[in-house]
């Protein structure tokens, strides 16, 4: 039987991208130096923000900074892999701080494991998650439902995944999501509503919490983790001086 390892889960609620990034970088430093003894998962919802990664092409950002600001959307350049993406209300964003030396020292393996975990989570909603050859993320029936972009130092990861749950998909019209031309974005809510035309099934008001639990379960099964909740105050105490949101 495979040995399980602890996974500390901290819910950040709604937090700005900058504050969450500072927190995950602090957690990654602590994981590298051993102050944080176990793998950590930060779960968060961001106010509207478009982030650009190391592979972003300028042509994939379709609005000017002033036009983004007019829509109340922040623009943020980060050190993760991948192209441009959107984070905002109704989206479950996860930042796993994982020491791959305790799993497998292979970033491609790690990306595929994150995809597998999200595919398992979607199965809880009877949504058939799938991969797209040569691309990172999760799709369903050719529509993209989750984006993934990571960074690592000394085999400790940060950044992570964004799963569209009840996201306003019109925000993705401001960019070429993940640099994929003609991609159609979707969400759990959208897929359930699409199905409800035949089955009379409508999304549950508790969809956000259901998605959270499904993702935690998918990650736990995929990585052989035992999830344990760690309040934000307790995490901050472990990390020391971290800027308050």
Instruction: Report the SS3 class of residue 242.
Output: coil
77 or 145: which leads in pLDDT: 145
Cβ atoms < 10 Å from Cβ of 33: 10
Indicate whether 207 pLDDT > 80. Answer: yes
Of 131, 126, 125, the C-alpha closest to 108 is: 131
What confidence tens digit (pLDDT) does each residue in 52-72 have? 877 778 888 888 889 999 999
Taking alpha carbons only, the member of 170, 179, 194, 171 closest to residue 137 is 179
Q: Which domains does the chain have, with CATH numbers?
A: 5-239 (3.30.930.10)
Catalytic residues: 178
- Taking the CA of residue 182 as centre, how many other CA atoms within 13 Å lie in the half-sphere pointing to its CB? 1
pTM as predicted: 0.91
Q: Report CA torsion sign: 30, 34, 36, 41.
A: positive
Distance (Å, rounded) from C-alpha 132 to C-alpha 137? 8
- Lookup: tokens for 143: 């529509």
The span from the CA of 162 to the CA of 149, in Å, is 9
């Amino acid at each position: 039987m495979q040995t399980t390892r602890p996974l500390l889960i901290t819910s950040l609620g709604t937090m700005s991208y900058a504050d969450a990034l500072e927190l995950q970088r602090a957690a990654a430093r602590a994981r590298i130096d051993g102050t944080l003894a176990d793998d950590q998962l930060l779960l968060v919802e961001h106010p509207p923000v478009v982030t650009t990664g190391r592979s972003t092409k300028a042509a994939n950002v379709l609005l000017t900074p002033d036009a983004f600001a007019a829509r109340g959307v922040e623009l943020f350049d980060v050190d993760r892999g991948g192209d441009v993406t959107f984070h905002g209300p109704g989206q479950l964003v996860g930042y796993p701080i994982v020491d791959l030396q305790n799993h497998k020292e292979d970033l491609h393996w790690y990306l595929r494991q994150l995809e597998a975990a999200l595919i398992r989570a979607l199965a809880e909603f009877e949504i058939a998650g799938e991969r797209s050859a040569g691309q990172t993320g999760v799709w369903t029936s050719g529509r993209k439902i989750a984006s993934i972009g990571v960074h690592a130092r000394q085999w400790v990861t940060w950044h992570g995944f964004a799963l569209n749950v009840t996201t306003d998909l019109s925000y993705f019209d401001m960019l070429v999501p993940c640099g994929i031309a003609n991609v159609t974005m979707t969400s759990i809510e959208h897929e359930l509503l699409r199905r409800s035309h035949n089955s009379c099934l409508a999304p549950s008001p508790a969809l956000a919490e259901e998605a959270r639990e499904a993702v935690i379960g998918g990650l736990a099964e995929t990585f052989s983790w035992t999830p344990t909740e760690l309040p934000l105050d307790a995490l901050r105490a472990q990390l020391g001086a971290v800027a308050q949101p």
